[in-house]
Amino acid sequence: MGKTETLSVRREPVRDSKGRAIGRAGLGAATLVLAATLAVPALAADDSFEITIKNHRFEPDAVTVPAGKQVKLVVTNMDGTPEEFESHELDREKVVVGGGKAVILIGPLEPGTYPFFGEFHQDTAQGKIIAE
């Protein structure tokens, strides 16, 4: 009779970037995070729009974006005090610290006009997003 060999396989743990072993739960969580990241479509460079807060006003105070597409608003606060970008119609509110930036994803939007305002300076900080 012929000789039968038994092959034993030793499972090595999966390791993170710092060399620490990741258990099955950690590996599953990492897989979910990766899958969620891949599921979000990347925004093209032309899908980004800049708004500046200066002297408690939004500049420009009207931004035209493409309807039916998700876009990124990059809001830069040139003032020394915080301001809050807020829009009930867009269902967004984000505090932008003085001298800081914030990224706000909106859309896809139906064609129309969507007002926004600065919560802390409502008398001067007014603007609108126009989706065409």
Q: Name residues of the chain where pLDDT drops below 70.
A: 1-14, 16-17, 22-46
pLDDT, position 78? 98
**Dist CA 86 CA 114 (whole Å):** 11
Q: Are residues 36 and 49 in the same domain?
A: no
In the prediction, which pLDDT does 20 show?
A: 72
- Residue 126 has a pLDDT of 97
Asked whether the CA dihedral 58, 60, 62, 63 is positive or negative, the reply is negative
pTM confidence score: 0.66
In a domain, 3, yes or no: no
Q: What gap in Å lies between CA 85 and CA 95, rounded to an integer?
A: 6
Residues 79 and 124 in one domain: yes
Edge to edge, the sheet with strand 126-131 lists: 62-65, 126-131, 112-118, 83-87, 92-96
83 and 25 in a single domain? The answer is no
